[in-house]
């Protein structure tokens, strides 16, 4: 009986199952968090959580990539949520980051078959192309040597950046000398970073951690 369900239907069921789980984060215990943050099921990342709306969008993109390219590119992330009190002096890492608001992901910087090309429409930004599992013209689009900008093998690729942009995610310009091509953030429902942070944390906590910003 179950075997009769088509593979695509399984993916839809998976997507529904993963988006609905709520995670209380004891390590970041704030009253608002359990209501807003959800776990990204079957995603490997240091803190695999996002706010509910971002998670739903993330899963739509993840499923589209699986359907159109045959690869679970978003099953492992370099980062998703970042703890509210995370501080670093690493070059290019913003202290006031949308990761802390549960609204940003970093795709894996090392992933087989990924080619980074210049975005010819937006100077300074780049696009992520993923080489599709099947190279028989049934998946992705053809990228010849010119279109792939001599940065990878020609073949059939999916423009992952286009999927994120269609869902309303933003890229960010280079941070210092670091290009941050791997970073996408979801700003829907928050006019700015302080507002996004207030949806998760109390003003008291934020004032202590970010004096002058709240």
Q: Which helix (H) or strand (E) holds 127?
A: strand 126-131
Report if residue 45 touches Zn ion, rule: CB under 5 A.
no
Q: Which helix (H) or strand (E) holds 8?
A: helix 7-19
- b vs e for 191-206, b when ≥16 Cβ sit within 10 Å of the residue's Cβ? eebeebbebbbeeebb
How many residues at the interface with Zn ion, by CB under 5 A? 2
Among 62, 80, 106, 131, which residue interacts with Zn ion (rule: CB under 5 A)?
106
Stretch that binds Zn ion, among 45-53, 108-116, 124-132, 181-189 (CB under 5 A): 181-189
Among 183, 196, 206, 210, which residue interacts with Zn ion (rule: CB under 5 A)?
183
**Is 125 within 8 Å of 141 (Cβ atoms)?**
no
Report if residue 197 touches Zn ion, rule: CB under 5 A.
no
Q: Which residues pair with 186 in a beta bridge?
A: 169
Report if residue 103 touches Zn ion, rule: CB under 5 A.
no
Stretch that binds Zn ion, among 32-40, 47-55, 98-106, 199-207 (CB under 5 A): 98-106
Sites of contact with Zn ion (CB under 5 A): 106, 183
């Amino acid at each position: 009986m179950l075997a009769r369900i088509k593979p695509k239907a399984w993916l839809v069921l998976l997507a529904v199952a993963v988006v609905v789980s709520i995670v209380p984060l004891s390590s970041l215990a704030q009253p608002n968090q359990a209501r807003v943050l959800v776990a990204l099921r079957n995603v490997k990342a240091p803190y695999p959580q996002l706010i509910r709306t971002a998670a739903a969008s993330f899963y739509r993109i993840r499923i589209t990539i699986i359907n159109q390219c045959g690869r679970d590119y978003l099953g492992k992330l370099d980062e998703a949520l970042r703890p509210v009190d995370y501080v670093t002096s690493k070059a290019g890492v913003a202290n006031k980051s949308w990761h802390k608001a549960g609204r940003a992901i970093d795709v894996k910087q090392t992933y087989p078959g990924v080619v980074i090309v210049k975005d010819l429409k937006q100077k300074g930004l780049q696009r992520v192309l993923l080489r599709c599992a099947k190279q028989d013209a049934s998946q992705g689009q053809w990228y010849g040597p010119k279109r792939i900008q001599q940065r990878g093998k020609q073949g059939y690729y999916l423009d992952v950046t286009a999927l994120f942009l269609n869902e309303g995610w933003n890229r960010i310009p280079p941070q210092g000398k670091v290009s941050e091509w791997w970073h996408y953030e979801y700003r829907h429902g928050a006019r700015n970073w302080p507002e996004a942070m207030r949806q998760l944390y109390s003003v008291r906590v934020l004032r202590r951690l970010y004096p002058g910003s709240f």
